[in-house]
Structure 1
Amino acid sequence: MQHPAPAPSAPRLGSTLSRRVLPGIVALLLVILLAAVFAIAHLADELDERALTRGRFLSGKALEAPHDWMGRSIADYAFWGDAYVNLNRQPNIDWAYEQQNAGPSLYEDFCYEGLLVINPEGETTYAVVRGELADLDAYRWIGPGLDSLIEDAREAAEDEETATGMLMVEGRPAIVAAAPLTTGGADVEEMSGLPSVMLFVDILTPERLIEFGSEYGVSQLRLADDTDPVGATFELQLQDGTPVTFAFTPERPGRHLLLLTLPILALVAFGLGLLAWLLLRQALRTARIMDASYEYLATSQQALEASEARFRDVAEAASDWIWETDSQLRLTYLSSRFEQITGHPPSAWLDRPLADLLTSDNEALQGWLSAPDDVPLRCRYRAEDGRERHCRLAARPIHRDDTLVGYRGTATDVTEETEAQARIQHLSLHDALTGLANRNRMQEYLSAVLEPLAHAPSPLTLLYIDLDRFKPVNDTLGHAAGDEVLLQVAERLRICTREHDLIARVGGDEFVMVLVGLSQREGVERLCARIVEALDDPFYYDQQRVFIGASIGVAVAPANATNANELLRCADIALYQAKADGRGTWRFYASEMDERLHERRRLEDELRTAIQEGQFVVHYQPRYLSSGLALRGAEALLRWQHPTRGLLLPETFIPLAEETGLIVPLGHWVLREACREARHWPNHAVVSVNLSPIQLRRGKLLDEVRATLIESGLPANRLELEVTESALLHDGHATLELLRDLKSLGLRVAMDDFGTGYSSLSHLRSFPFDVIKIDRSFVAGIPRSEEDNSIVHALIGLGRGLHMEVTAEGVETAEQLDVLTQAGCTEVQGFHMSHPLDPQALNALFLGAGAFADER
């Protein structure tokens, strides 16, 4: 079909004015304004660039000045005879700190966070951090480059100069000044060997940077981040060569210029534009009247053309084919779309009954055509390629002089729609990944097969299968690996069952089997054993072997239940018991399992009540130095003062507290109570508190410890936190960072139950442990077991080789104590020295102790 030719265009006065006159005026105005804006913007850029250059220069000066000042300050202290006498080698704490010759005044007067003295062997012999005496290692507190700075200081001292540099301290850059201690020309006898080196540390906190910048007129001097523009940043080198980027807020004189001038230019442009608009307004008004009639005609013609094109495109793109029949339902007409959709040529079906094409009987088709309503008929037909397809028929009768001469209608192919509905129906009852039945299908099937059991009992067995160790597959290899393993699991389950048994996937790694007619317990156990064995075999993904396993809960109907939900609950309880018994096994439901579950829930409720009502108390296991048995401190041990069952030990309730998450508030309470009690012990008495792995992963442990130390007033160096080896296996990097942050508070960290878990030398070397505690299971074998004896000696040697203290737990005999003392064990605790004591008894022990161990 040919398109009609468009109507000829006529010249329009309004269009001419709009196309030629108005654009010319606007273009001229725009050129003038753009030239002015470009000139002002160029000047503004130059002003801003000069301000940036000046800001970078002054910022560098602002950070150079503290170097010079600290160099002169440390010279006054390091090149001083009294400091040489009292701080070199063995520091005199009374002279330095108590008399404030080299102590808090540096922090109070100059805001220096640290004053440290390091002997030639690299040991930190004296440290004052933020005005307080501290027990720390300068090489751990200060980042890489300290050795280089100390070497520069010793060389500079030959010319009576000092050395300064920038290093990382507590995660921030800091200016560190170093100078070896000298007599300063005083009449003091010099000591042999290299002198100790004094360090001043000024951490560049945000406030400190702003203070330095303000002295040089630099605004908001700070460490740079990703949001800072490159022009407002500059780099300085740390002592070890690592670059550190700083930023500042530059002045913007050019922006101020733009803000002042651009509104004026905008007003000028507005005035010129308004004038041009008034001049053209009258001319355009007359032109629009002349153009109105032409526009109306052109619009009508375009609408007609669009309407014709729309109907033509619909007719050509329609997926329906048109048919006509005579009064006997023989086909008399088929449109060209018929062949495109069905593959049949229209000539092959003309004069043939419509019912033959639609694989439908003639009476049913005639009845539908005679029906008074207009409901479409869904039917099937076979295409030329032999594939069965679906269509939807619509029809109207054809009358001539009130006589029915035939029917005319359309046929719409709905094959894809029908197949999609079938797929949706399938997916609503099946798992998309494995193709097994889903929870809906399983519930539907269970309800159907359980209903007859009320009248004619027959055996039905339900297996609730849960995969063991499946979560690590997703965590380590990814979800694609997990999906592949689930597909292989589904295939192995199909192999283990009969054709008429139902297998459903009801959760991420949970499956249910419904077995009808399997009544013998022996047969069910053989099937469970076959399933466990099949799922114990390795799975393969991307040429890697993956090992999981399965636990199974078994419930039988009607013996255990006749209701689908109740039967599933019984199987779930049996599964819980199977997991509690070690996994990789199966358990049949029994009523006592219900009782144990209720008992566990009751205990959980009592535990929550106990936390709310404060039914817990803390006892303390004394700790002794193995040499001389001087009392060192005590370990906090939690007890539950149950209102009816008496005093309960931790093994009764701690596993449940960890499983329910209640260990977090409970552990926080123990920490506060232990620190509060230890505050009243003799000076330097250490209290140790156990941390659960869950406390390391949840809550805000660092904030809780910091707040507890402030609230109780206990010095941080008298608190020791004990961490089990298992806590290091989950998210090791985050745990390492948390332990380092805790160490920065000044407390000690111990690895508890060492030797019983999965730790390695890499853990001991990378994690900031001060103490390793040998598990009581090894100590108990001394001296009967040669293996335990060797293990204990090896662990003590390992701890000493890593410069860590070693504590032995569970010392119950004098013979064990002798062996541990001779092997070089640092500390011991156990019933041989003392049983756990309540706070009053422990205080009495402190008062009666003949000797007490100072902090080491």
Structure 2
Amino acid sequence: MTPAEARDHRAAFNAARLAMAVLDGDGRVVTANQALGALLGADPARLAAEPAAELLDLSHDARTWAAYRDVLGGHLERMRCTRRLKNPDGRPLWAEVTVAPLPEDGPGSPRSRALLSVADISDRRDLQTRLHHLRLHDPVTRLPNRALFFERLAAALDAAGQDRGGSGRIGICYLDLDGFKAVNDTLGHRIGDRLLHAVGQRLAHCADRAGCGRRGAHLVARLGGDEFAVLVEESTGTEQLSELADAVLHALLQPFDLAGQRLSLSASIGVVERAAAGTTATALMQAADTTLYWAKADGKARWTLFDPERNAHRVNRQALASTLRPAIERGEFTLEYQPLVSLDGGALQGVEALVRWRHPQFGTLGPNRFIGLAEEGGAIVQLGRWVLRTACRQARLWQLQRPESPIFVSVNVAVRQVWDSDLVADVAAILAETGLPPHLLQLELTESAVMGSAGRPLQALRALSDMGVSIAIDDFGTGYSNLAYLSRLPASVLKLDGAFVRGFRDKTHANPADETIVEALVGLAHRLGLTVTAECVENADQADHLRRLGCDTGQGWYYARPLHPERVSSLLDG
């Protein structure tokens, strides 16, 4: 390089806006430019012979220090790191420091010189910080968002798992605003957003008070929509979470004044508190979500504590619901039959078909465990057809067994079977398929299902009655009891609810009110041409009492528990 070229290089080096210095093989400054002097608040000439590692804190961590030494020793092409420095005026400064061998020396020379450059990246760092904050905070409430909440939750569980001397417990209050959608729909999203912001402030205030004045001790986050959560790390027990939930409910019940609108609000809160060991963020939030649902279902404007037993029941219920349809196809259901006996003489008149689920995990289940699930999920139509076909086929066998005095079979029908399928067509097809005469089939519908029926249900009942099928109103006396409507129903049988029968425990303990009601219902039914069946008959006194009141048929453990088909056949043979 000529002297002129060297002068040009030095001039460019000193005039450069990028702070730079040439270092010797020991990392000391050989020469520094004006930009580096300005950055460090020192005369560039005074930086000569100064260790660059001390000027820029390059020995702060072992990894950076090792890379720096490797570059100086010629074993590494380049190293780059970020350092937090101070401006000459004391303000913080973020700098990106790069060290690389000078080209003329190149790597491999044991005493090679290196070029140090320092770029002020404070603006870029501030932008990254702001973007990071925006990514982790909700723009409406300025609270942490779902991403930050789960980040903190995972960190809290990890810290608890390392046994750092805390309580080792964790808690969550998961809340949903009751009726918030109505605010958006009626007042608009602008007012809705202002309400969300106000709710967030009240939640943060409650959390700060619960944290003994330590701001941010409990993380309050908006998870989305009108859902919020409060994370309590190192919780002291359910009492602490309960007190926090109470405080939140009380705070949110105070009216909100927004843009001339005075709004009242409530919230439903699911509370979960447990040992952090052995749990996960997913399990915690599933429990919180379930408990929030309970609070909603229990009437809203309340908090509910997670109950493992209640949750186990819910899980079992979901397991049953999800396997119900496949269970029908696998043939896991069976029927038992409970006799219906004449109260005047004791002759067997018919049987009621009662479905059972032989579940491979939970054992034999009664209809109260799964019929509601079948109605909710729509599987009741498929299950109902199976019950009807199986019962009719069995009744036809009994008819052939005793043709001179056949018994009828009574089958329960859910109102959804009427709405979601063509019940009349199903019954006609099954009777034709099995060969059972229509008068040997009785269909039972609950009082609440038939009282007030109109349109399709009533038309279906009339069509079935015209076909010759008997219609029975089950559990009569505890529902709507619209007596005037009885005359319009094509029913032939009333089945009195067992609550009345239980009132006749024996001759000396009969409930006079029950006796009066039963006598009146029996008289009314007979005048309308209906027969009366009493359910839940458990002893001879009850049977005698009901017979004297005019009941026609009895059903209950006094006569027989539900029986397998073979046992009913034995009764017929006997």
TM bin, normalised by shorter chain, reads 0.5 to 0.7
Residue of structure 2 in register with 1:17 after alignment? none
Measured in 2, the distance between the counterparts of 1:820 and 1:707 equals: 38
The one of 415, 422, 425 equivalent to 1:703 is 425
Measured in 1, the distance between the counterparts of 2:193 and 2:300 equals: 22
Secondary structure of residue in 2 paired with 1:833: coil
Residue of structure 2 in register with 1:725 after alignment? 447
Q: Residues 561-618 of structure 1, C-alpha deviation per residue, up to 9 Å, x if partnerless?
A: 9976554322123345667889886443466666555544544566445322213221
Maintained 8 Å contact 2:141/2:200:
no
Secondary structure of residue in 2 paired with 1:837: coil
Residue of structure 2 in register with 1:843 after alignment? 569
Distance 1:566 1:638, change over 3 A: closer
Distance 1:774 1:562, change over 3 A: closer
Residue of structure 2 in register with 1:828 after alignment? 554
Cα drift, residue 845 of structure 1: 2.0
Measured in 1, the distance between the counterparts of 2:548 and 2:194 equals: 58
Secondary structure of residue in 2 paired with 1:637: strand
The one of 477, 488, 491 equivalent to 1:755 is 477
* TM score, norm. by length of structure 2: 0.56
Secondary structure of residue in 2 paired with 1:782: coil
Residue of structure 2 in register with 1:791 after alignment? 517
The one of 164, 167, 174 equivalent to 1:463 is 174
Residue of structure 2 in register with 1:514 after alignment? 230
Range with bigger deviation, 833-842 or 677-686: 677-686
Maintained 8 Å contact 1:446/1:564:
no
What are the within-5 Å matches in structure 2 for residues 375-390 of structure 1? none
Maintained 8 Å contact 1:808/1:828:
yes
What are the within-5 Å matches in structure 2 for residues 654-673 of structure 1? 654-673=371-390
Cα drift, residue 756 of structure 1: 2.6
Between the aligned residues of both structures, percent identity stands at 37
* TM score, norm. by length of structure 1: 0.39
Cα drift, residue 795 of structure 1: 2.8
Cα drift, residue 840 of structure 1: 2.1
Measured in 2, the distance between the counterparts of 1:515 and 1:751 equals: 53
Maintained 8 Å contact 1:447/1:563:
no
Measured in 1, the distance between the counterparts of 2:253 and 2:565 equals: 51
Q: Residues 729-753 of structure 1, C-alpha deviation per residue, up to 9 Å, x if partnerless?
A: 8986543344334334332222211
Provide structure 2 residue ranges, at least 5 long, that are not aligned to the other structure: 1-133, 161-165, 208-219, 255-264
What are the within-5 Å matches in structure 2 for residues 362-381 of structure 1? none
Cα drift, residue 451 of structure 1: 5.8
Matched, 1:675 2:421: no
Measured in 2, the distance between the counterparts of 1:495 and 1:766 equals: 60
Maintained 8 Å contact 1:696/1:735:
yes
Maintained 8 Å contact 1:443/1:564:
no
Measured in 2, the distance between the counterparts of 1:618 and 1:567 equals: 41
Maintained 8 Å contact 1:461/1:518:
no
Maintained 8 Å contact 2:206/2:247:
no
Measured in 1, the distance between the counterparts of 2:250 and 2:414 equals: 35
Maintained 8 Å contact 2:357/2:365:
yes
Q: Residues 41-89 of structure 1, C-alpha deviation per residue, up to 9 Å, x if partnerless?
A: xxxxxxxxxxxxxxxxxxxxxxxxxxxxxxxxxxxxxxxxxxxxxxxxx
Maintained 8 Å contact 2:175/2:267:
no
Letter paired with 1:698:
D
Measured in 1, the distance between the counterparts of 2:375 and 2:204 equals: 42
Secondary structure of residue in 1 paired with 2:561: coil
What are the within-5 Å matches in structure 2 for residues 49-128 of structure 1? none
Maintained 8 Å contact 1:450/1:563:
no
Distance 1:640 1:456, change over 3 A: closer
Secondary structure of residue in 2 paired with 1:789: helix
Q: Residues 393-452 of structure 1, C-alpha deviation per residue, up to 9 Å, x if partnerless?
A: xxxxxxxxxxxxxxxxxxxxxxxxxxxxxxxx99x968xxxx8899xx852352354365
Cα drift, residue 827 of structure 1: 1.7
Maintained 8 Å contact 2:385/2:426:
yes
Letter paired with 2:564:
D
Q: Residues 650-677 of structure 1, C-alpha deviation per residue, up to 9 Å, x if partnerless?
A: 3344344444433332221110011111
Q: Residues 250-281 of structure 1, C-alpha deviation per residue, up to 9 Å, x if partnerless?
A: xxxxxxxxxxxxxxxxxxxxxxxxxxxxxxxx
Matched, 1:569 2:286: yes
Measured in 2, the distance between the counterparts of 1:725 and 1:826 equals: 19
Measured in 1, the distance between the counterparts of 2:479 and 2:205 equals: 46
What are the within-5 Å matches in structure 2 for residues 97-176 of structure 1? none
Matched, 1:803 2:567: no
The one of 607, 632, 648 equivalent to 2:349 is 632
Cα drift, residue 793 of structure 1: 2.4
The one of 446, 450, 453 equivalent to 2:149 is 446
Secondary structure of residue in 1 paired with 2:551: coil
Maintained 8 Å contact 1:796/1:823:
yes
Letter paired with 2:382:
P
Measured in 1, the distance between the counterparts of 2:311 and 2:177 equals: 19
Secondary structure of residue in 2 paired with 1:679: helix
Secondary structure of residue in 2 paired with 1:811: coil
Maintained 8 Å contact 1:693/1:726:
no
Distance 1:514 1:753, change over 3 A: same
Letter paired with 2:515:
N
Maintained 8 Å contact 1:461/1:519:
no
Considering only CA atoms, is the larger Rg found in Structure 1 or Structure 2?
1
Residue of structure 2 in register with 1:78 after alignment? none
Maintained 8 Å contact 1:460/1:517:
yes
RCO comparison, higher one (Cα < 8 Å, 6+): 2
Question: How many residues matched?
Answer: 394
Measured in 1, the distance between the counterparts of 2:206 and 2:462 equals: 60
The one of 608, 613, 616 equivalent to 2:333 is 616
Maintained 8 Å contact 2:341/2:347:
yes
Cα drift, residue 774 of structure 1: 0.9
Measured in 1, the distance between the counterparts of 2:231 and 2:360 equals: 48
Maintained 8 Å contact 2:175/2:228:
yes
Q: Residues 795-833 of structure 1, C-alpha deviation per residue, up to 9 Å, x if partnerless?
A: 323423443222110111111112211211122112222
Cα drift, residue 516 of structure 1: 5.7
Letter paired with 1:634:
V
Measured in 1, the distance between the counterparts of 2:452 and 2:231 equals: 40
Measured in 2, the distance between the counterparts of 1:733 and 1:665 equals: 23
Maintained 8 Å contact 1:775/1:808:
yes
Distance 1:529 1:516, change over 3 A: closer
Cα drift, residue 688 of structure 1: 0.8
Distance 1:767 1:559, change over 3 A: farther
Q: Residues 141-186 of structure 1, C-alpha deviation per residue, up to 9 Å, x if partnerless?
A: xxxxxxxxxxxxxxxxxxxxxxxxxxxxxxxxxxxxxxxxxxxxxx
Secondary structure of residue in 2 paired with 1:836: coil
Cα drift, residue 710 of structure 1: 1.7
Measured in 2, the distance between the counterparts of 1:738 and 1:779 equals: 31
Secondary structure of residue in 1 paired with 2:449: helix
Measured in 2, the distance between the counterparts of 1:700 and 1:656 equals: 21
Measured in 1, the distance between the counterparts of 2:515 and 2:364 equals: 35
Residue of structure 2 in register with 1:775 after alignment? 497
Distance 1:764 1:710, change over 3 A: same
Maintained 8 Å contact 1:793/1:823:
yes
Distance 1:503 1:613, change over 3 A: same
What are the within-5 Å matches in structure 2 for residues 419-568 of structure 1? 442-447=145-150, 449-450=152-153, 453=156, 461-465=172-176, 497-499=203-205, 511-514=227-230, 519=235, 521-526=238-243, 528=245, 552-556=269-273, 559=276, 565-568=282-285
Maintained 8 Å contact 2:242/2:271:
no
Distance 1:822 1:606, change over 3 A: same
Residue of structure 2 in register with 1:742 after alignment? 464
